[in-house]
Structures are given as C-alpha cells and as structure tokens.
Chains A and B, each alone.
Chain A
Amino acid sequence: MHSRWILWTIIVLTILALWINIPPLPQVPALKILGKRVELLGKFPLKLGLDLQGGTELILETQMDKIAPADRDSALESAKNVIERRVNLYGISDTVVQTSKLGEQRRILVELPGLKDASAAANLVGKIAKLDFREMPATLSAQEIEATKSGLPIIALAKPTGLTGADLKRAQVTFGSSSGARSGPQVSIEFTDQGAKKFADITRRNIGKPLAIFLDDEPVSEPTVSQEIDGGNAVITGQFTTQQAKNLAIDLNAGALPVPIKIIQQNSIGPTLGQQSVNKSLIAGIIGLTIVAIYMAAYYGILGLVADTALVVYTLLVLAFIRTGLFILPPVTLTLAGIAGFILSIGMAVDANILIFERMKEEIRWGKSKTLALDLGFKRAWSSIWASNVSSLMTAAILYGMGTSLIRGFAITLAIGVLFSMFTSYVVTRTFLRLIIR
C-alpha cells in the first residue's frame, strides 16, 4: 500500500541520517578498497562557529575620508589583501577575510578560528600597510656575507631608499603594445611630484640592477631598472599573467592608498570556554529532549510514543541537514545561538503533534471512527500548523535580515527546525499512525 512505501522511505532516510551523524568509533575499522583507507563513519564533521571552537572574529572599519571617492574601492581591495597576507602568516586554516560595502561604509570581516592569542592578532591586523622601495647593496659586508651563507636570501639585505608608499599616487594594470617584448599585462605606477624626483634619482643610480618593492617588510616584486625614469610614470613589465599583474597592482595600491583601519568589533573566545559551551548545550539538549519524550508518552500513551519516534527522526534529520546541507546547500555553521534555536525548535516540533492529537481526540469524542478521526484530525489541524509555522518562518527571515552573525545563526537553525518539523509531523507522524490505527 501507499503508506508502506512512505514508511520504507522514512526508514531509509533515518538510517542515512544516522550514518551521517554517528561520530567515528574506534570499534568500527576503516575499510580497505583498492589499497585506499576508507573511513566508514564521521565523514561529515559538524562545522562549529568561532564561539564554540574558539577563535577570534574582527570587524574592521576602513577610514576613507582622505582617499578620493574614485579610488576607494581599490583601496578597500588592497587593504583586504594586506590583511589576508598578514593573517596567512599564522598558518591557520579556514580563515576568512571578507569585505562588505554598505552605502559609504566599507568594512572588512576577519575570522581566525582556533587562534589563541587574540590581542596579538588584533594588533597585527589593525596596522596600516607599509610599502617601500629598496635597492640592492652594491657590495656586501663580511657580516652580510655570513648571513647569506646561513640561509638568509640576499633580498633581505636590500637597503631602504626613502621612497615609500606615500610617494605613490596609484598603480594599475595596463596592456603593452600587442607586438614585441612589451606585450601582455603590465603594471603602471604613477608617482607624486616628490616621488617622481626621488624615483629619478634612484633609477639613475641603479640602472641594470634590481629595485625591490617591500610590503610590510616582505618583498613582493624585484623589477630590474632598465633606464633612468623621470616624469613620474613607470611601468613594470615581465612575464605576468593578468592575475599576477592585478595582484601586484593591488599590493602597490596598499602602499599608495593607505587606509587607516579601526577595529569596531572583536569577539574572541578561548577554546576552553568554547568546549564548555558545547558540552553544556549537549547535556541541556539531551535532558530537554528526554523530558519532552517522557511527558508526551505519559500524557498521550501510544500516540505519545509515536510522537517521540517522530521526534527522534526529526532530530536526526535536522542534524544531518546541518552537517551536509543536503549536499546542495553549504553545511550550516553551528553557533551557540544556533544550538539554542535548535533546542527551541524541538518544542515547536512537538507542538505540531500535540495539535494533531488534540484534534483527533475531539473528533473521536464527536463520534467519528478512529480512522476517520485520524484523517480529519490531520486535515483540520494542518491549517493551524501551517499558519503558525509560516509566521515563525517570517520572524526567522526578519531575524536573518538584521544581519548580526549571532542572530543569523539562531534564525537559520530555527527556520530549518520549523521546516523539518512540518515534514516530520505531516509525513512521519501520519504514516506511523496509519500503521497503528486500522
């Protein structure tokens, strides 16, 4: 029969969800297929937010008032790159550096998971980028030769020239004439009047030698000076791909259009506190779920047990969705507020069942047969369930729209919970009841 099919689908889905949710167990060995180790369990780890796994989140505001409106977007891009470069020095994975633009406010969001020393990171990220040009020493002193031998590259010994980012107006990617050695993408630099003078001096001294460009004391490029350049316009050529040229221009602009950065929000959670939160909410969730299950069974008897089963299916499905995003959407990053939203949605999931059961009881009281009461109970309770859940979804959407990451985490799990609770109450509970009541 029709409902047999649905029952099997539910069972398969539940087993699938169970498999997704079981953590790796030492008792279950990995399979060896074609010489490769294939783990059977724990393939979909929960993605924990910074508040649960520990880490630092920073929101930086860029101060653009000294930069010409036309240059502001490229200045933001450069500032982001500089921060990315600094953050990468830490070698942590899953870091996020994002820009956001809202009206005239340009912000950068930085997420550093698992980082312990929050203050150091905040100091590092908040600094203004420093760009300067350095010339290679003509002769190395004995000391310097010693240093090179011990593995220090010669480039690290380059001497500052006094030409800095402040002498630059802007850099951009241009394309050379289509024939000859100067074809392809290149980077044009424009100097200020003062910069042009300094640059002319420096190039005159260094014809045929490399002139290194340093950003935050890290070399980014070492073009060779081919001739004395006066007039304040220079071109860096080379075997660039367009992307490489673009990156170099962005780096140069970080110095040319230095953007003061202010940290306007910082959230750092130590790993200890994060782990504590996870444990506590896990316990709270299990206890909450158990009390609800006992109450339902005590109050509604067999019906309550059906609701409890549906509740277990519900929990497994929601967790599986959070872990995988159904393979279509990205997995949900679970935050503390998100867990609260999920635990709360358990209450709402039960509500749908209660509505249906109460309605069925009434229909039976009014003299309907059990099977008829089941169908009518569902049909009539559904309008309430639908209307009330839609209003909850609307609230969740508004919460999401408010945009704070904390509130978003809550809104997402609440919405997922509401959607899945409609599914489990309509499909799972109904199918189980049909099998019991004949």
Chain B
Amino acid sequence: MRYKVLYFVASLLIILPGLYFLITSGLKLGIDFTGGALLEYSFQKNVDANDLKQQISSEGIEVGQITPVSDNTYIIRTKPVDQSKINKLKDDLGGKFGKVEDRRVEFVGPVIGNELRQKSLIGVTLASIVIVLYIAFSFRKIPKPASSWRFGIAAVVALVHDVLVVIGAFAILGKFFGVEVDTLFVTALLTIIGFSVHDTIVVFDRIRENLAKHMGRKFIDVANLSVIQTLGRSLNTSLTVVFVLLAMLLFGGETIRWFVVALLVGIISGTYSSIFNATALLVWWEEKLGH
C-alpha cells in the first residue's frame, strides 16, 4: 500500500478516456431507453439492405440502422415510431420481397423508455446507499480506532469506480463501434455493483480480523498483510468467473454478447478496485486524517 497514489493514478488513467467520451458524446442509448423498434426479419429470397431501407422509409418509418445477421436476415432499428405502422410493415414487406418471417419484434413506447431511465438511476443509487449502510452495520464491531463508516464509504468508492469504468468503456464502444446500451446493460451494472462489493467485503473482513489479531501494528501493515492473504482467493474467484463469462461470450449467442462484455469489464475492474482502491483509500484516510 506504499504506492497507493500510483494505484489511484492508474485508475484515473483508465477512467478518464471513458469519461471524456461519456461527456462529449454520451452513451449510445438503445430503444429500451429512447423508444423505437427493433425488428429482425428473415427473408426467403435475396433482399438488398438498401432496398429494404427504402421500402421501410417509404412507409413513414424512420430507419436508424440496418445490420445483416446472416443470409437475408436483417436487424432493423427504427427511431420512435407509431406501433400501428410496425404491425403493417410485415405484410407490406411480404408483398414486396416475398415470404418473410419476423423472428423478433421489439417495440418500446417513449413512456417505457423514460420509466426505465428513472428506474435505472433509482436502482443504482439505492443499491449504493443500501450497501454503505449494510457494510457500516456488519463492520460495527470493528476494533477501535477504525470506523465502520469508512469501510462502507470506501466500498462504495470502489463500486463507483467500477461503474465508471464500465460506463466509460461503453461510451467508447458506442462512439467507435455503435454499441448501444439497453435494459441488460443496466442489469449488468447492478450485478457488477454486487460483485464489486462481494470482493471488497472479503478483503475488509480480513482487515477486521487482522486488526484484532495484531493490535498495535500500523494500519498500513495490517492492510498490506490482509491484501496479500486474500490475493490468492481474489484472483482465483475472478478467474473462474472470467472463465464462465468467456464461455458465454464465445458460445452464448448474439443477444447477450454486450451484456457479457459489460460483466467481464466490471468483474476485472472490481477485482482491481477492491484491493487498489478500496483498501488503499482506507490506508490513505488513516494516514491523512488519523482515526
């Protein structure tokens, strides 16, 4: 923990580019947030993406993006649109391009989009507050002079770090690869919050134990010892979760791909932050402000 300033700088270096793109261009919000439709149509005959786009536009539906999935199967994203137009679309396309199967029709009205935005914000905030309270409560018997509130706040700092890393990463992915964020992304964020705290608690729990065992030793030494003792577990656990996620990424299919990527980034960041942010912050706090 001697190089704690370095750890903070490393975190900043990772977060800042993401933050830059988050502020300048923001996240690319999917239809779950903005309203609109996502349609996956599979045609029997050869259909050109441009013809398809033209036909859809001619029905008064604003096309956002058309991406081919496989032969003659396209995913079409539209701007906010009237639901009745979407229902007519399939028949019209069938008339023009021959037999068509709608493999997926997702329509989200603007009301729902706004609601999700609110709910996500409330969810993330609520999770953070509950976690500070929970950690402060479960570490309440920590040997004086340490304060259980500091543990709670340090855990949340680590958690905010992880959330920022993931959101930043997706701001960059959105800017350069057009990756959109949706309901699953919010789910991923909340899961990462859970994981991040999971990791931090394991380290903190050891610090608590060691504080009682080694009364009189400096806090920084106790923290160092605890980190080293829990390092094997932290790495092994993260590795197994990363294995599982990699399997999901490679074999799990298109629908959950970016969800898994978000989780991967978050888990790796969570392992780092529980040691190098949360614990380092506790040490820094102790040195600067005393007890």
Which A residues are within 8 Å of any B CB, using their own CB?
56, 59, 61, 118-120, 122-123, 126, 262-270, 272-273, 276-277, 280-281, 283-285, 287-289, 291-292, 295-296, 299, 336-337, 340, 343-344, 346-348, 350-351, 354-355, 358, 361-362, 380, 383-384, 387-392, 394-396, 398-399, 401-404, 406-407, 410, 414
Contact = CB atoms under 8 A, between A and B. Distances in A.
A344 B241 contact: yes
Given A291-B243, A343-B248, A347-B241, A395 B104 contact: no
Interface stretch (B43-51, B126-134, B167-175): B126-134
B236 A119 contact: no
Contact of A280 (B40, B240, B252, B259): B252
> What 6 A-B pairs come out closest when comparing CB atoms?
A264-B109, A395-B194, A347-B241, A288-B247, A280-B253, A266-B107
Given A392-B194, A407-B186, A118 B127 contact: no
B127 A395 contact: yes
Contacts of B112: 59, 264-265
Nearest to B205: A384
Given A340-B259, A354-B237, A395-B194, A270 B106 contact: no
Interface in B229-254: 229-230, 232-233, 236-237, 239-241, 243-248, 250-253
Contact of A295 (B105, B127, B243, B253): B243
Given A120-B87, A285-B247, A402-B122, 13 more contacts: A56-B105, A122-B87, A126-B83, A264-B111, A265-B107, A266-B105, A267-B107, A284-B248, A287-B250, A337-B256, A344-B191, A355-B233, A391-B131
B22 to A, nearest CB: 22
Interface string B187-222: 100110111011101100110010000000000000
B184 interface: yes
Residue from the set A277, A347, A390 with the largest chain B CB neighbour count within 10 Å: A347
A391 to B, nearest CB: 5
B71 interface: no
A274 B92 CA distance: 25
Contacts of B119: 402-404
A391 B233 contact: no
A292 B123 contact: no
A362 B240 contact: no
7 contacts: A56-B105, A123-B84, A268-B104, A270-B104, A343-B248, A392-B195, A407-B187
B190 A395 contact: yes
A119 B202 contact: no
A395 B191 contact: yes
B240 A296 contact: yes
A265 B187 contact: no
A298 to B, nearest CB: 11
